[in-house]
Amino acid sequence: MSILLSADQTRPRLVVLGLDGLPLSLARQLGTSLPNIGRLAENATTVRAELPELSPVNWTSFYTGTGPEEHGTFGFSRMDPATYQLSITDSSNVDTLSIFDKLGDHGLISRIINLPNTYPARPIRGMIIAGFVAHELEKAVHPPFLIGKLAEARYKLEADTNKGASDLEYLLNELRKTLKSRIAALNMLWPDLAWDLFVHVFTETDRLFHFFMDAVLHQNHLQHASCMQFLMEWDNAIGVFLNKYDALPAPKRLIVMADHGFTEVKTEVCINTWLKQQGLLKLEGAPADEWDATRISNETKAFALDPGRIYIHTTNRFARGSVNQSKVLSLTTSIRNSLMDMTLNGDRIMEHVFTGKELYPGAQSDQVPDLICQSRPGYDLKAKFDRNEIFGLHGRTGTHTVDGAIFYDTENSHPERMRDIGVTILDHFNISKS
């Protein structure tokens, strides 16, 4: 059992800086002009994302030290198999304990700022301000006394990317507000040093890269200078964080991580449109919007959820299912082979198509996909119900990658996947994963 030390005693503190969606290659490119990210990138390596390479899947894998087969988060959305209604994944759907729970059981204190998929905030031994997707401050914070302090500081949970997707200046102003909010929270939760683990996540890069990756990457882009000006401000915020770490008394350890990499979009690829063209997905009437899965008909053989999770529409799993269990193997094999053969202008789309049993051994959740697609870099997989074209651009210029996420550890660990970073933290405090 670990011994809880008071704030003025020596305690081996571990600090985690999350930089959502930052690839090492871009960090090194930016580091030539941005000193703080340059400092981190100089000796950094990479870590591989869990599949699908989405934020809720990967941050949950990090903070539980487990994969989706255990924590039960497979994407941004989940489906009720009786009603076909989709809902947004959140912390209430996480099936395992967090590393913060395990540290708390050993008398250790965690403080967490803006960690995705922790909303609504669960009580922990310490303090937490939940991150994306977080809707109400009152449900995003533990303990409750922080709510008033954050409200007074005009803490902003998330940038408005709906309007910002097509208006760079609006988006940058929104991101400046979230950046200011994160620093305000840092200045609240850090100073007394009455903690053992501190996790702080900046998500601004992910928001910027999704909609303006082309402007970030290309110096001749008309909006490149505006993006770089903001990234200088982001780098300054990283500097504020690193200055606090530098002043922290030893023993101490710093881990810097991203949840996935990023690259420029070649095209979006709508798996549901492809399934419709294959005659496998049939809808009853026009969907109300891109997320309207309730239109799936009883003639459907397979459908997809974000980004490339494919479900066989079986009779024993879905209310309107039409596929007998005896047909599942042949159907999944056929879909898998056809997807692996999919090309655009002679370029193969898929890197791999896994079965759920391959990727998530032992999973018991009713949300486990039958097939999971991993696209090649630049092909942005989607699962919209209202699209008529497989390929096309729809306002995004950047997309996630499985490989390439930045990782740095002052103690030189080399975790393979996101879940391994969570295990590394437990190991640091001599706590067993089980």
- For residue range 184-242, what is the model confidence (pLDDT) as tens digits? 999 999 999 999 999 999 999 999 999 999 999 999 999 999 999 999 999 999 999 99
Token reading at 84: 């076909």
| d(C-alpha 368, C-alpha 311), whole Å | 8
The DSSP element (H or E) to which 28 belongs, if any, is: helix 24-30
For residue 93, how many other CB atoms are within 10 A of its CB? 18
Mean pLDDT of the chain: 96
Predicted TM-score (pTM) above 0.85: yes
Partners of 350 in the β-ladder = 375
At residue 6, the pLDDT reads 46
For residue 221, how many other CB atoms are within 10 A of its CB? 15
**Residue/partner pairs of 23-26 with CB below 8 Å, 24 or more apart:** 23/258, 23/261, 23/262, 23/263, 23/401, 23/404, 23/405, 23/406, 24/261, 24/404, 24/405, 24/406, 24/407, 25/261, 25/404, 26/216, 26/217, 26/262
- For residue range 319-339, what is the model confidence (pLDDT) as tens digits? 999 999 999 999 999 999 999
> Of how many residues is the chain composed?
434
Residues above pLDDT 90, as percent of the chain: 96
- For residue range 148-173, what is the model confidence (pLDDT) as tens digits? 999 999 999 999 999 989 999 999 99
Q: Please, what's the b/e burial string for 133-172 (b: 16 or more CB within 10 A of its CB; e: otherwise)?
A: bbeebeebbbeeebbeebeeeebbbbbbbeebbeebeebb
Torsion of CA 278, 313, 76, 405, to 10 degrees: -60
Q: What is the mean pLDDT of residues 280-289?
A: 97
pLDDT band at 433 (very low <50, low <70, confident <90, very high): confident
Where would I find the beta strands (DSSP E) of 80-124? 86-88, 110-115
At residue 317, the pLDDT reads 97
At residue 218, the pLDDT reads 98
DSSP H helices, 201-360, are 204-217, 224-247, 271-277, 328-340, 356-359
- Residue 376 contacts by C-beta under 8 Å, 6 or more apart in sequence? 347, 348, 349, 350, 351
| d(C-alpha 206, C-alpha 109), whole Å | 28
CB 408 within 8 A of CB 44: yes
At residue 5, the pLDDT reads 41
| d(C-alpha 369, C-alpha 424), whole Å | 28
At residue 9, the pLDDT reads 56
| Closest to 237 measured CA to CA, from 273, 194, 193, 205 | 205
At residue 1, the pLDDT reads 28
Partners of 383 in the β-ladder = none
Residues above pLDDT 70, as percent of the chain: 98
Q: Is the pLDDT of residue 350 over 70?
A: yes
Q: What is the mean pLDDT of residues 294-316?
A: 97
Q: What is the mean pLDDT of residues 265-279?
A: 98
CB 210 within 8 A of CB 162: no
Estimate the crossing angle of helix 418-428 against helix 55-64, to 10 degrees. Answer: 20
- For residue range 188-197, what is the model confidence (pLDDT) as tens digits? 999 999 999 9
For tokens 């497989």, name the residue: 390
| d(C-alpha 111, C-alpha 101), whole Å | 12
Looking at this protein, which amino acid is placed at residue 137?
L
What residue ranges define each of the domains in the chain, with the CATH number in brackets?
Answer: 13-263+398-428 (3.40.720.10), 267-392 (no CATH)
| d(C-alpha 277, C-alpha 342), whole Å | 13
